Amino acid sequence: MMQREFGIHMKGGVITERNPDLTTVRIRAPAGALSTDQLRGVAAIAKKYGTGMVHCTTRQTIEIPHVDPAHLKTVVARLEKNGTPIGSEKDEVVNIISCPGVERCKFANIDTIHLAKILDKSLFGKVMPVKIRIALCGCPNACTSPMLNEIGIIGRIRPIRTEGLCTGCGSCVYYCKENAIKIRNGISELNEDKCVQCGMCVKSCSFNLVKSLHTHYLITVGGRRGRHPRIGRELMTVENEDQVLFAVNRIIDWVYRRAWSGRLLSEQLDELEFGKFRDEMVKKVPHAEPAVPMGKREKPDTLRPAHF
């Protein structure tokens, strides 16, 4: 009995508090999406076994503070039954976070919540040499700061101006916050090096001339917040959810087999030649493309130079 309770206590979703006689219990909530019934269930558990308070975390989960360890077994069972099992915190794949994506946000290019749930099903809680945080966002506005996570996923659109009469109305210029579009000789012209591939111009043209040449998922690696924050590096782009799942699994495999425990993943990637690491990973994922940072992109073949 004691042994089993000790086992629960060692799980990542159970955190010993400053007062070591108490624990905080963190739940698993992929994309932070919970039904009202689940919220009521968590509230009832917090009332009965905690102090009636909960804490919403930066990783989109909920914590129940001040739980007596003697009640852990019951709390864990009740959370499981509620559809909100205990989460994770140690060196494992922890709660996967996401912005609302196409479900609600008018800027979104991808279905982030759906993808977060798929990734959660495949990877949540996997024990790793280092903690793996995964964050998704639907566009380069990056509301969930994906590039400050070990793995980030960002929905992007590469725009193209299709054949048709551009009136030079300037609507796309107005909507582009990066000053990546200018009107020259009465028609719009794109500066690829300034374009962050947000897709706003695609939605802005009343004449429907601007289309998405390439809707894709940018995958970044090696970011982190905390004591030594680092911005993740652009690794590869893929074109659909299956490929994202496949690619993220390959990255997780690599970390599992090759990373050292006790050291930040960002530092370990620093010691590699990143270009070689990127090539190795891209080769493992059919149809993936190496990510090309801004300023180094070639213009799409189908376009007249400097036009879109």
Question: Which residue of 142, 245, 259, 303 would you call a contact of ligand SF4, by CB under 6 A?
Answer: 142
Pairing, β 151-161 against β 181-184: unpaired
Q: Does 145 bind ligand SF4 (CB under 6 A)?
A: no
Q: Does 168 bind ligand SF4 (CB under 6 A)?
A: yes
For 144-176, letters b (16+ CB in 10 Å) and e give bbbbbbbbbbbbbbbbbbeeeebeeeebbbebb
Q: Does 176 bind ligand SF4 (CB under 6 A)?
A: yes
Q: Which stretch binds ligand SF4 (CB under 6 A): 19-27, 78-86, 204-212, 270-278?
A: 204-212
Q: Does 220 bind ligand SF4 (CB under 6 A)?
A: no
Interacting positions 224-283 with ligand SF4 (CB under 6 A): none
| Residue with Cβ nearer ligand SF4 (33 or 143) | 143
Q: Does 223 bind ligand SF4 (CB under 6 A)?
A: no
Name the strand (E) or helix (H) holding 4: helix 2-9
Interacting positions 91-110 with ligand SF4 (CB under 6 A): 99-101, 105, 107-108
Q: Does 171 bind ligand SF4 (CB under 6 A)?
A: yes
Closest CA to 98 of 141, 43, 60: 60
Give the total of residues touching ligand SF4 (CB under 6 A): 40
Angle at 142 between CA 24 and CA 134, to 5 degrees: 45
Least CB distance to ligand SF4 at residue 302 (A):
16
How far apart CA 308 and CA 304 sit, in angstroms, is: 7
Q: Does 303 bind ligand SF4 (CB under 6 A)?
A: no
Amino acid identity, residue 15?
I
Q: Nearest 5°: phi and psi at 233?
A: -105, 145
Q: Which stretch binds ligand SF4 (CB under 6 A): 73-81, 125-133, 200-208, 272-280?
A: 200-208
223 burial class (0-12, 13-18, 19+ CB within 10 angstroms)? buried
Q: Does 294 bind ligand SF4 (CB under 6 A)?
A: no
Q: Does 29 bind ligand SF4 (CB under 6 A)?
A: no
Q: Give the contacts of 173 (CB within 8 A, at least 6 positions apart).
A: 181, 182, 183, 188
Q: Does 43 bind ligand SF4 (CB under 6 A)?
A: no
Q: Does 170 bind ligand SF4 (CB under 6 A)?
A: yes
Least CB distance to ligand SF4 at residue 147 (A):
12
Question: Which residue of 31, 181, 218, 244 would you call a contact of ligand SF4, by CB under 6 A?
Answer: 181
Tokens encoding 168: 């030079």
Q: Give the contacts of 11 (CB within 8 A, at least 6 positions apart).
A: 86, 88
Contact footprint for ligand SF4 (CB under 6 A): 99-101, 105, 107-108, 137-139, 141-143, 159, 161, 166-172, 175-176, 178, 180-181, 188, 190, 195-201, 204-205, 207, 209-210
